[in-house]
Amino acid sequence: MNIKQLKAAKADVVAKAKKILDENPDGLTDEDLATVEEFQAKAADFDSRIEKAQKQVNLRAAFSNGYDDADEDTKNTGVEAAKSLGDHFIKHAEPRLKAFSAGDHLAVQAPEFKAASDPSLTSTQGQGVIDGYATEYQRAIVNQRRERLVAADIMGSARMNGAVIKYLVEKAQRIAEGGPETVAEGAKKPYVRYNPLELVTESPAKVAALTKISDEMIEDLPFLADYINQQLVYDLSVKEEEQLLKGDGQGSNLTGLFKREGIQKLDIGSGDAFDGLLEAIQMVALVTPLTADGILLNPSDFQSLRIAKDNNGQYLAGGPFQGQYGNGGIILNPSIWGLNVISTPAVDKGTYMVGAFRQGATVLRKGGIRVDATNSNVDDFENNLTTLRAEERLGLMVPRPAAFVTGTINSGAAAGSTAGAAA
């Protein structure tokens, strides 16, 4: 069977199982339960066969194209691969850029640039120096410093080849009815019925950014490469974070993490904000087998927590100067309850999110980042300007929404309610 036939056969099995479940809302008989479980096993087998067949198709396509895993930079040509997106663009556009003179029409396109190395974070919390954080872009594409973590840094990351990706979403309550029990020898064993997993389909969205450069900047190719790395891709990452967190799912927008169904709710009211965040952290562990690893806050709310003082007037997270009260160094983004804090305008003021980001959410990336250039945009030609465009396709997979807790937070409550040492 080919991929199309396998998908059709799986769809038929899923439809039969769904029909039985829909016709028996009050519970299944033992016979129906066995039938549905058999359909579930068949569907899983079809998934495995589809995945295997797709891998074969991808391998045939890769080797038929000379195994073009990323672009010409990664082929065994004896030419050193580009180390950044800016270098990659210059490498492909250099002949055209050098031939360009003021008044000419310019149109340059470069292939997608994909990172050659695996992403890995290089910074940790609690360091006494400001060394910048490694973002998804900086890890293998951008050579610039980034002074803060972004949401994509603490989420999982995966690549996709197809137009869509399908995955199963786990319910907060896995068991719908019954459950394992201790039984005497020879006694009847209890049945357990699990809540069916929800099959979700995700499609990647395109995120793009534009910036303008002068004809004089084009003449300095090393500067142009740095400009792409430090400006254009940064602007792209700002929009990416906004989509990953609060995209409304309408039109070409992603469905952001805050908009997902199944996320736990906890409003932190007038009580101590730190205590409320700890309660949210524990909610993740109580409902899922995961451990929270990050906190999302609006910069205003994080500032309120950051300047919280004890009754002696000392900052809980250390003062503004190195060595203040024996802290030994400045922590740029101090952790809260040992978790990384992402301070971003993409989170609404008065709102927070705690979660197991690495396991609970995955950023999907389709292809790499592409940069094009033209001086025919709007009035560029008249003003001796060139427009650079960077774009990428990405999606968000949330297989465990219960691994996240969100709600309102009164960050100002932390400053006045924290007890300190005796004066």
Model confidence over 348-390: pLDDT tens digits? 999 999 999 999 999 998 888 888 888 888 898 889 898 888 8
Q: What is the pLDDT of residues 87-111, one digit of tens each?
A: 887 787 777 777 665 556 666 666 6
Q: Which of 182-196, 235-249, 409-423 has the lowest mean pLDDT?
A: 409-423
Q: Kindly indicate the confidence band of residue 341, based on its pLDDT and cuts at 50, 70 and 90.
A: very high
Q: What is the pLDDT of residues 219-229, one digit of tens each?
A: 888 888 888 87
Q: Kindly indicate the confidence band of residue 277, based on its pLDDT and cuts at 50, 70 and 90.
A: very high
Q: Kindly indicate the confidence band of residue 285, based on its pLDDT and cuts at 50, 70 and 90.
A: very high
* CB contact set of 362 (below 8 Å; sequence gap of 6+): 155, 156, 157, 158, 396, 397, 398, 399
Q: Where are the domains of the chain?
A: 1-67, 72-161+203-417
Residue with tokens 């949210």: 280
Of the chain, the end-to-end C-alpha distance in Å amounts to: 78
Pairing of strands 351-355, 294-297: antiparallel
Q: Does residue 134 have a pLDDT over 60? A: no
Predicted TM-score (pTM) above 0.75? no
Q: Does residue 128 have a pLDDT over 50? A: no
CB atoms closer than 10 angstroms to residue 316: 17
Q: Kindly indicate the confidence band of residue 153, based on its pLDDT and cuts at 50, 70 and 90.
A: confident
Q: Report pLDDT for 54.
A: 78
* CB contact set of 2 (below 8 Å; sequence gap of 6+): 53
| 191 DSSP assignment | P
CB distance 283 to 266 below 8 Å? yes
Could you tell me how far CA 294 lies from the centroid of its own chain? 13
How does 291-307 read in b/e, with b if 16+ C-beta sit within 10 Å?
ebbbbbbbeebbebbbe
Q: Does residue 135 have a pLDDT over 50? A: no
Token pair of 283, please? 């909610």
Mean pLDDT of 117-132: 36
| 315 DSSP assignment | B
Token pair of 113, please? 């640039």
CB distance 337 to 331 below 8 Å? no
Q: Report pLDDT for 275.
A: 94
Mention the CATH class of domain 72-161+203-417: alpha beta
Q: Does residue 252 have a pLDDT over 80? A: yes
SS3 string, 173-206, reads: CCEEEECCCCCCCCCCCCCEEECCCEEEEECCEE
Select the more confidently predicted residue: 336 or 226: 336
Q: Which of 97-111, 144-158, 175-189, 256-270 has the lowest mean pLDDT?
A: 97-111
Mean pLDDT score across all residues of the chain: 79
Q: Report pLDDT for 347.
A: 96
